[in-house]
Amino acid sequence: MKRGDIQISLIAERCKGCGFCIEFCPLKALGKSTEINSRGYHIVCLNDSDKCTGCDICGMVCPEFAISVVSTGEETGKAGVVSA
């Protein structure tokens, strides 16, 4: 999958701020946001879209199924974040 074909999908209300996705990201592209969801947790954010390769390890380790990598089918050149 090419880098321009991917986006990180985050369901902010499911995120409990555990940090598993941040810890296991092999290229350290994720970080904690200053944004807080309605449950009071700091949600994850994509700190460096140039580093994200779309490996989806973040989605595999998330216990709440709050984050995943989706294919956009577009050639944008960068990964982005889609919040639901």
Q: What is the CATH number of the domain that holds 15?
A: 3.30.70.20
Report the C-alpha gap between 74 and 6 in whole angstroms.
8
User: What's the structural domain count of the chain?
Assistant: 1
Alpha-carbon span 44 to 24, nearest angstrom: 13
Tokens of 28: 């350290």
pLDDT in tens, 16-74: 999 999 999 999 999 999 999 999 999 999 998 889 999 999 999 999 999 999 887 75
Range of the domain at 54: 3-83
* Beta bridge pairs of residue 42: 36
Q: pLDDT-based confidence at 1, cuts 50/70/90?
A: very low
